[in-house]
Structure 1
Amino acid sequence: MASSIPMVNNDNAIYYCLLFVSLISTFVVRLLIKTYTNLGSPIRHPPSPPALPIIGHLHLVGAAFPKSFQTLARCYGPLMQLRTGSSTFVVASSASTAKEIFKAHDHKFHSRFEMGPTDYNIYKGTGFVTGPYGDYWKFMKKLCITELFAGSQFDRFNRIREQEITNLLKSLMECARKGEICDLKVELETLTNNLICKMAMSKRFSNKDDEAKKMRKMVSEIMKAGAKLGVNEVFGVLKKFDLFGHGKKLQEALWEYDGVMEQIMKDYEESMVDGGENEEKDVMYILLQTYRNTDAEVKLTRTQIKHFILELFMASIDTESAAIQFAMAELINHPNVFKKLRDEIQSIVGSSRRLIKESDVPNLPYLQAIVKESLRLHAPSPIINRECTKDCKINGFDIKAKTKVLINTYAIMRDPDKWHDPDVYIPDRFFVDSTGQFDQSEMEMQRHDFSYLPFGGGRRVCPGLVHAYVLMHTTIGALVQCFDWKVKDGGKIDINIANGFSGAMAPPLLCYPITRINPF
């Protein structure tokens, strides 16, 4: 009997110990449930690949971001979360997801965030293209669609376009006469740069090609320094240190540009005071008129005007010229498509030496299809950035306010669920087989379901897309009409995009122009 008492006490001790642990566990679990219930349901983030310390997913992203994001999306879905160093992004890679962002939740994604080296940008926070949604952006968008790029201004731009395309053709004909090779990439960048110079500030650049070259060099230096500095953004605290001096170079280039622009603005203001009100208005003239208007809805600053002009130049070098380069590269690489387009142009223009005009474009459906197919494969902006302003759900996942979102139009316009043979250059995909006519209804459907987004979507769609379409059609048509093209070394043109977020063509576009028709 005596020996059994300790055993009973030991069992009781174990029982009470287990009861105590059970009670504490229940209390803790109930406390945790109550805590999370009060905080709301757990956040459901988009799927994400396994990350490494510090660099995050940088090891999974190749030099050309659009293609790398496309590859990752095939594994992790049309909405995924990526971290590159200190920056976290949500990447959208399908038409249905883009539709959610650009249509269903457009009012929550109408802001953009500034990418790249903002710490060294003297114009930080004053952008229109890169700026957040607000009074300034709405005011400038209204100004663009009512005065800067519409009405009589658009007619004026047409005259400038015709003159600059003529200058391009004459330059190429001189190369052909000498039997010299040309870099069509450089020629097209010169075309778009001169266009912007004369559209924006014709008073300064109307007959000064050397001045236009200086402006282009200045803007190129800004873009080059910014691109190099952008690498620092990936490495967290290191972006605060200008380790390689790129930040200093960027600021120097920006201040040089700022000084030139300030003098140009003063020259304009002097002419306006001297009775130049009846002069033909260009973009700078209209902006300064708005700046001087005390009754304007939003008071423009000189810094905002300078930044707006800089954004025009950067857009021309990085997008418009690149779009035409890719289209010409595809045509040269596909001689059967090239011949079919030339035959169409000849059927409309005739055998005379008359140069193709903008008014001919509606009667050239194959040219329209070629432009659209080129933009599908080589979008001017293969990555579109947005910033979420309010909490919302996309594809069932929680997207919090301030989230940086990247819409991968490169992947969307190469989606095999939306496009047959998506990586193959097929302009005829935009035609109705039975009639051979351009399928406008098909294009409208693709826009409606957001599978075709060469110039973005939603209320932040590119305001210069009409100008870009006109320039592409007339320039490509003229280059096909007037020249045969022979590639250096007799091969095909290497079509690759540059590193980073850009949609620019990486290698030079070296070829021999052979004059076929001289309209001059």
Structure 2
Amino acid sequence: MVASTPDDAREILQRHDDACSGRLVPDIISELKYPEAAVLWMPPNDTWRTIRKSLNIYLTNHQKLDYLNDLRQNVVEGMLEFLRESARKKVAVDIGKLAFGVSLNKISNTFLSKDVTSYNSDEIESFKMAVETAMEVQGKFNIADIFLVLKPLDPENIPEGFVDERLKHRELKLPRFGDVLDSFLDYSQDNEPKFNLNHIKALLVDLFIAGTDTVSNTITWTMTELLLNPDMLLRVLRGEVSQTLGQEGKVEESIVLDLPYLQAVIKETVRLHFAAPLFVATTKA
């Protein structure tokens, strides 16, 4: 069934939303550590609504994002220092690896208040390979088509140590971090069993995977397109960016609002190069 008109779309997305909002779940999802907590494939039930509410309150909330801005800004400063040091040493920089590392540390600081890697570490490449494999595997609908060769690098192992470490930290009554993980743990105490530790761990896996691979891919393609189109590169760098930042300007998230041409370049890059495979919308209904 194809909804190709506004009326048809309204009929499906509004009037019959519950009946049409399910999706076929790939066989591989049953092999996850927490298949019942995989929010991406969860039907729109009470548990799904509880998890969605937690994301709205603690992740996409402007007040929370502003509160954690300094942590994310430290990641940007660390990236700039790495680039300056590489330039002084005349060492080539792998943009894809750097973008992945920055994305990884931005997410880890938002959730865990810490960096999880350094930009010249071989761990970045290993984790990047594991994430790309996870993205590919979850796109397959027949488990017979899958051959997992990166079991030791399984991204699902990421949250275990961090969550357990934070729980021990809280048991010792040590000062709180006030990050997203703390908020999730507080929220789970009031909303079990709809939102428990398994849901938190599964969410961390989903968000680490989605927030690293897609962002780094987009940055890599954007830089590639700019290098292939030097006129656009000059307009972005010598035009918008230089004028907005000045000679010693501080790079902050808020300046993106003052860079409409760069925004247009990124949007066009996303249009030309999808950050992740687009699944055909399907449902059991």
Q: 1:400-445, CA deviations, whole angstroms, 9 ceiling, x for partnerless residues?
A: x2xxxxxxxxxxxxxxxxxxxxxxxxxxxxxxxxxxxxxxxxxxxx
Q: Compute the displacement of 1:128 (Å).
A: 1.7
2:244 is matched with which residue: 328, 343, 348?
348
1:328 maps to 223
| Distance across 2 between alignment mates of 1:214 and 1:285 | 29
The amino acid of 1:253's aligned partner reads D
| TM-score, normalisation: structure 1 | 0.47
Q: By percentage of residues, which structure has more strand? A: 1
The amino acid of 1:345's aligned partner reads V
1:123 and 2:34 matched? yes
Work out whether residues 219 and 310 of structure 1, in 8 Å CA contact, stay in contact via their aligned partners in 2: no
Work out whether residues 122 and 254 of structure 1, in 8 Å CA contact, stay in contact via their aligned partners in 2: no
Aligned positions, number: 278
2:184 is matched with which residue: 287, 293, 296?
287
Q: Compute the displacement of 1:252 (Å).
A: 8.5
1:160 and 2:71 matched? yes
1:264 maps to 165
Flag the 1:183–1:305 CA change in 2: closer, same or farther, 3 A.
Answer: same
Flag the 1:326–1:216 CA change in 2: closer, same or farther, 3 A.
Answer: same
The amino acid of 1:380's aligned partner reads A
1:310 is matched with which residue: 179, 193, 205?
205
Flag the 1:254–1:190 CA change in 2: closer, same or farther, 3 A.
Answer: closer
Q: Compute the displacement of 1:152 (Å).
A: 2.6
Alignment of 1:82-481 (within 5 A): 97=4, 103-106=10-13, 107=17, 108-115=19-26, 117-202=28-113, 205=114, 209=117, 220=128, 222-223=130-131, 226=134, 233-234=141-142, 238=144, 246=148, 250=151, 253=154, 256-257=157-158, 259-271=160-172, 274=173, 276=175, 279-293=176-190, 296=191, 299-342=194-237, 343-350=239-246, 352-389=247-284, 401=285
Q: What's the Cα RMSD here?
A: 3.4
Work out whether residues 121 and 250 of structure 1, in 8 Å CA contact, stay in contact via their aligned partners in 2: no
Query: What secondary structure is seen at the aligned counterpart in 2 of 1:129?
Result: helix
| TM-score, normalisation: structure 2 | 0.81
Flag the 1:331–1:170 CA change in 2: closer, same or farther, 3 A.
Answer: same
| Distance across 2 between alignment mates of 1:182 and 1:353 | 22
| Distance across 1 between alignment mates of 2:5 and 2:278 | 12
Q: Compute the displacement of 1:151 (Å).
A: 3.1
Where relative contact order (Cα < 8 A, 6+ residues apart) is larger, the structure is 2
Q: 1:233-274, CA deviations, whole angstroms, 9 ceiling, x for partnerless residues?
A: 54x8x46xx8x5x28x64983674464245224224325xx1
Query: What secondary structure is seen at the aligned counterpart in 2 of 1:263?
Result: helix
Flag the 1:381–1:104 CA change in 2: closer, same or farther, 3 A.
Answer: farther
| Distance across 1 between alignment mates of 2:157 and 2:222 | 34
| Distance across 1 between alignment mates of 2:122 and 2:71 | 20
Q: 1:99-144, CA deviations, whole angstroms, 9 ceiling, x for partnerless residues?
A: 6786441214433444462242222121123322221221222222
Flag the 1:160–1:385 CA change in 2: closer, same or farther, 3 A.
Answer: farther
Q: Percent identity?
A: 21
Work out whether residues 100 and 128 of structure 2, in 8 Å CA contact, stay in contact via their aligned partners in 1: no
Q: Compute the displacement of 1:358 (Å).
A: 3.2
Q: 1:146-200, CA deviations, whole angstroms, 9 ceiling, x for partnerless residues?
A: 2222133111333233221221122122222222222100000000011111111
Work out whether residues 117 and 124 of structure 2, in 8 Å CA contact, stay in contact via their aligned partners in 1: no
- Bigger Rg, structure 1 or 2: 1
Flag the 1:157–1:328 CA change in 2: closer, same or farther, 3 A.
Answer: farther
| Distance across 1 between alignment mates of 2:201 and 2:45 | 19
Flag the 1:129–1:251 CA change in 2: closer, same or farther, 3 A.
Answer: farther
| Distance across 1 between alignment mates of 2:168 and 2:9 | 42
Work out whether residues 112 and 385 of structure 1, in 8 Å CA contact, stay in contact via their aligned partners in 2: no
Query: What secondary structure is seen at the aligned counterpart in 1 of 2:281?
Result: strand
Q: 1:474-504, CA deviations, whole angstroms, 9 ceiling, x for partnerless residues?
A: xxxxxxxxxxxxxxxxxxxxxxxxxxxxxxx
User: Can you give the 5+ residue segments of structure 2 that lack an aligned partner in the other structure?
Assistant: none
Work out whether residues 226 and 232 of structure 2, in 8 Å CA contact, stay in contact via their aligned partners in 1: yes
| Distance across 2 between alignment mates of 1:184 and 1:299 | 41
The amino acid of 1:346's aligned partner reads S
| Distance across 1 between alignment mates of 2:230 and 2:265 | 13
